[in-house]
Copies of this chain bind each other. A is one copy, B any other.
Amino acid sequence: MKLSIVLFDGVTTLDAIGGYEVLSRIPGIEVDFVAATRGIVAADTRRLGLLAFRHFSEVTATDILYVPGGPGAHALEIDEPFLAYLRALDATSTWTVGICNGVGLLAAAGLLKGKLATTNWFYRERLAAHGVTFVAERYHRDGKYVTGAGVSASIDTGLFLAQLIAGDMVAKAIQLGIEYYPAPPFSEESPADAPAAVQEIVRQYEDTVAREQLHLVPPFKGMPIGTP
């Protein structure tokens, strides 16, 4: 079984890695990180590089298509070759996963029309423009489409999908393997529970800081890089 995780400049790392850390532990799975161009992809912070070791033309079929989000995803919503790639890979997949505003990329590609989906707290109003009905859940399944809320929801979404694919025992073993018995230091149980001032800070961050950050030059730009 093949898992293809799509990377792009400005991805939010935990969107991708939460699901990766879970799904890569399904026995027999093969994981590829794929991007339009092979090489280092700079995460949204510009301080982390992730290796996309396949380019799009090398991965033309998959079992699980996995699309994370991040501030870099906004520009891709109108990138027709990127969206065409998602459509082509989705046509071969058994499962298609969107996390955070990566769900917006699936929606912009026309893959979620008429479906129910979740997405991150700050993106939820935008799904309707693509004919998608937002549901306020941590993760949601509509047919083969499995969508997750923001960033860290990739872990819960991954466990849910692992359970669907490999059953309870495997999914619980993965939960123990990654020790996912969360205990956040604060008692808020949903984004709506966050104090209004905190919501405003984050809304501004998402609207401006996160996108402006993408203009920073990564410290590893142009660096000669070895592979092990």
Contacts and interface: CB of A to CB of B under 8 A. Distances in A.
Interface of A: 9, 12-14, 17-18, 20-21, 24, 30-33, 37-42, 45, 47-51, 53, 100, 120-121, 138, 149-153, 155-156, 159-160, 163, 168-169, 171-173, 175-186, 188-191, 193-195, 197-199, 201-202, 205-206, 218-223, 225-228
A124 to B, nearest CB: 11
Q: State the oligomeric state as a number of copies.
A: 2
B184 A182 contact: yes
B175 A188 contact: yes
Nearest to A41: B228
A150 B179 contact: yes
Contact of A191 (B12, B38, B181, B205): B181
A45 to B, nearest CB: 5
Contacts of A197: 169
A21 B156 contact: no
Contact of A17 (B13, B41, B53): B13
Of A100, A138, A149, which is in contact with the most chain B CB atoms at under 10 Å from its CB?
A138
Contact of A24 (B47, B50, B198, B220): B47
